[in-house]
Structure 1
Amino acid sequence: MTMTTGVVLKLSVRDLVPADLASCGWAGSGHHLAGVARQLERARLGEVDYLAVCSVTDVPVAKGGIDYRAEEGAGTLWQLAVHPALQSCGIGTLLVEAAELRIRKRGLRRAELGVEESNPRARALYERLGYVAYGRRPDAWNEQAPDGSLRRHETMCTLMRKELPGPGRS
């Protein structure tokens, strides 16, 4: 006999706030979270939105930013992450769709992002959501090693974009 069971997650999307960072260790190192804290200051200034997908207990299980200054006329999604134990449950889709709604509310009609070429699962998600590749660009950042030192991470990203519907369209 084979039995399958399902779990229903009740999720909400809201702005990420500084108090959330203590429960976001799954998203990256202390160095990464310090960078997210700096982005929250930019959110206060209206330059970016930084979203949290939260469980019923209001604990973030996914996070991601939208930068309105990176590309003229577009919202650029970046630092998207879903708790590893909850990946492939539709949470990334919910996060991207919420980000697209924020972009549309700003009066913009294009979403852009860069996905590491070493991350085919993420690229497949973005393609399923309607994003189309249009170029490549190297990217690099410092990441914290287990010993606390910073190491340079270099990668190649595929640039993707999606034209968003105008008002009154879904």
Structure 2
Amino acid sequence: MLPSVSTEDDSTDATLIVPVSVRDLLPRDLPACTWSGSATHLRHVERELTRAEAGEVDYLAVCTPADLPVAIGGIDYQASAQAGTLWQLAVFPALRSRGLGTLLVRAAEQRIRNRGLRRAELAVEENNPRARDLYERLGYAAYGREPDAWDEEGPDGAIRRHETMCVLMRRDL
């Protein structure tokens, strides 16, 4: 880490530069990923990791020097015959807008290229303009809309159905 400390007006603000790396998400990482969603979501991620072992998906983690995941996301190679489909992208809330999402998407795109595919696709909820803005900055263009739904576990442990409308986006690699 290379600290940069500002002392103007006796300020105690500091900027820290911390190197991160991208690797495969592993089952042992899941207890450190509770920030990414509910227990139901993490059980789903755990199931997806078995698909990763079979080569059907890649699931990536952006990690700190302490090897803790601060951004995670998957690439499904079976959702579309001609593309890798990015899904379940998440960045630790306190570290959003720091470039971790960009790093995660670019690493995912490289994995897609390594599979011989030349297009990346994703769906973003219409009520998530911040994520959509990121994808547009990275060169993704909207090409359609479709509804999506999944079960979520609430704070009380009750399972609720989440229904939403998504914008479909893609980028040629």
* Range into which the TM-score falls when normalised by the shorter chain: over 0.9
Within-5 A mapping of 1:13-92: 13-92=22-101
Over the matched positions of the two proteins, sequence identity in percent amounts to: 66
Gaps of 5+ in 1: 165-170
Instruction: After superposition, give the CA deviation of every residue in 1:48-75 in whole Å (9 maximum; x if it has no partner).
Output: 0000000010000010000000011100
Tell me the residue number matched to 1:126.
135
How far apart in 2 are the matches of 1:163 and 1:5? 39
Local SS of the residue matching 1:88: coil
Instruction: After superposition, give the CA deviation of every residue in 1:63-113 in whole Å (9 maximum; x if it has no partner).
Output: 000000001110000000000010000000000000000000000000000
Relative to the length of structure 2, the TM-score reads 0.93
More strand by share: 2
Larger Rg: 2
After superposing on structure 2, the runs of 4+ consecutive aligned residues of structure 1 that deviate more than 6 Å are none
Tell me the residue number matched to 1:159.
168
Tell me the residue number matched to 2:4.
none
Q: How many residues align?
A: 164
Q: What is the RMSD computed on CA atoms of the aligned residues?
A: 1.0
> 116, 137, 153: which one pairs with 2:146?
137
Local SS of the residue matching 1:33: helix
Relative to the length of structure 1, the TM-score reads 0.94
Gaps of 5+ in 2: 1-7
